[in-house]
Structure 1
Amino acid sequence: MKQLCLGLILVFLMTSLAPFKAFAESAKTNGAPAIKSEAVILLDANTGSVLYEKNSHTQLYPASLTKMATAIYAIENGNLDDVVSVSAKAYETEGTRVYLEEGEQVTLKHLIQGLLINSGNDAGVAIAEHLNGNTRSFAKSLNQYLKEKIGVEQTHFTNPHGLFDENHYTTANDLALITKYALKNPIFREIFGTKELAWDGESWDTTLFSHHLLLRGEIPYEGITGGKTGFVQESRYTLSTSAEQGELSLIAIVLKADRNEYAYEDTVALLDYGFDNFEVAEVATNEKFFGEQNESYHLNKPLKYTLKKNESVQVTMNDQGVLRVLGDDGRKLASTQLKMDIPKELEGTRAEINPVDLAKKNHIPAILMFVFLGVGIVYLQKTIKNMKKST
Structure 2
Amino acid sequence: MSVNSEAAILIDARSGDVLYKKNEEKEMAPASITKIATGIIALESGRADDQVVVSRNARQTDGTRIFLAEGEQKPLEDLVYGLLMNSGNDAAVAIAEHIDGSVTAFSQRMNRFAQSVGANHTNFTNPSGLYEKEHVTTAADMAKIAAYAMKNEKFREIVRTRIKPWEGKEWKSELVNHNKMLVSYQGANGIKNGFTSQSGFTLVTSAERNGTELIVVLLKATSSNQIYKDAIKLLDYGFSHYKTVPVLKAGAKISEGEGSYYASETVYASIPKDDMFKVRIVPQNGLIVETTSGLTREYPSVLTKEQHLEAGAPAPNEQTDAVDTASKYSLPEFFMLFFWWLMIVFMSWMMILLLKKERV
**1:64: which partner in 2?**
32
Per-residue CA deviation, residues 91-118 of structure 1 (Å, 9 max, x unaligned), is: 1111110001111111111111111110
Task: Say if 2:313 is the partner of 1:348.
Answer: yes
Residues 49-198 of structure 1: pairs in structure 2 closer than 5 A: 49-148=17-116, 150-198=117-165
State the partner residue of 2:336: none
Of residues 195, 198, 219, the one that matches 1:234 is 198
* Percent identity for Structure 1 against Structure 2: 40
Comparing both structures, which one devotes a greater share of its residues to helix? Answer: 1
State the alpha-carbon separation in 2 of the partners of residues 138 and 326 from structure 1.
43
Larger radius of gyration: 1
Instruction: Give the secondary structure class of the aligned counterpart of 2:137.
Output: coil
Q: Secondary structure at the match of 1:346?
A: coil
TM-score normalized with structure 1 length: 0.75
Q: Which residue of 1 aligns with 2:335?
A: none
Query: Which residue, out of 4, 8, 11, partners 1:43?
Result: 11
Q: For 2:20, give the aligned amino acid.
A: Y
Shift of 1:244: 0.3
Instruction: Please report how far the alpha carbon of residue 297 of structure 1 lies from its aligned counterpart in structure 2 after TM superposition.
Output: 4.6
- Give the residue type in structure 2 aligned to 1:97: R
Structure 1 residue 339, shift from structure 2 partner? 4.6
For residues 164 and 301 of structure 1, what CA distance do their matches in structure 2 show?
Answer: 38
The residue correspondences of 1:270-289 to structure 2 (distance < 5 A) are 270-284=234-248, 289=254
The one of 239, 249, 253 equivalent to 2:213 is 249
Displacement of 1:303 = 3.0
User: Shift in Å at residue 322 of structure 1?
Assistant: 3.1
Partner of 1:374: none
Corresponding pairs, count: 314
Amino acid across the alignment from 1:244: E
Q: CA RMSD in A?
A: 2.3
Offset of 1:323 from its aligned partner?
A: 2.5
- Verify: 1:213 aligned to 2:177, yes or no: no
Separation in 1 of the partners of 2:92 and 2:81?
Answer: 10
Q: Following the alignment from structure 2 to structure 1, what is the Cα–Cα distance between the partners of residues 62 and 177?
A: 19
Counterparts of 2:40 and 2:240 in 1: how far apart (Å)?
A: 31
Measure, in 2, the Cα distance between the counterparts of 1:297 and 1:133. Answer: 45
For the residues of structure 1 that align with 2:93 and 2:69, how far apart are their CA atoms? Answer: 13
Residue 79 of structure 1 and its aligned partner are, at CA, apart by: 2.0
- Deviation string for 1:358-377 (max 9, x for gaps)? xxxxxxxxxxxxxxxxxxxx
Q: 1:140-172 CA distances to partner (integer Å, 9 max, x unpaired)?
A: 121112212x22100001101000000000011
The TM-score, its normalising length taken from structure 2, stands at 0.81
**Which residue number in structure 1 is paired with residue 171 of structure 2?**
204
Shift of the 350–126 alpha-carbon distance from structure 1 to 2, 3 Å rule, reads same
Q: Letter of the aligned partner of 1:267 in structure 2? A: A
Shift in Å, 1:83: 1.0
Residue ranges of structure 1 left out of the alignment (5+ in a row) = 1-31, 353-391
Q: CA deviation at 1:71?
A: 0.5
Distance 2:27 2:102 in 1: 26
In 2: Cα distance, 1:349 partner to 1:211 partner:
54
Match of 1:261 among 181, 203, 225: 225
Query: How far apart, in 2, do the equivalents of 1:319 and 1:188 lie?
Result: 38
SS at match of 2:270: strand
Cα distance between partner residues in 2 of 1:146 and 1:329: 34
In structure 1, the partner of 2:303 is 337
Return the alpha-carbon distance in structure 2 between the equivalents of residues 159 and 170 of structure 1: 13
Q: Which amino acid aligns with 1:213?
A: K
Question: Tell me, which stretches of 5 or more residues in structure 2 are unaligned?
Answer: 318-360
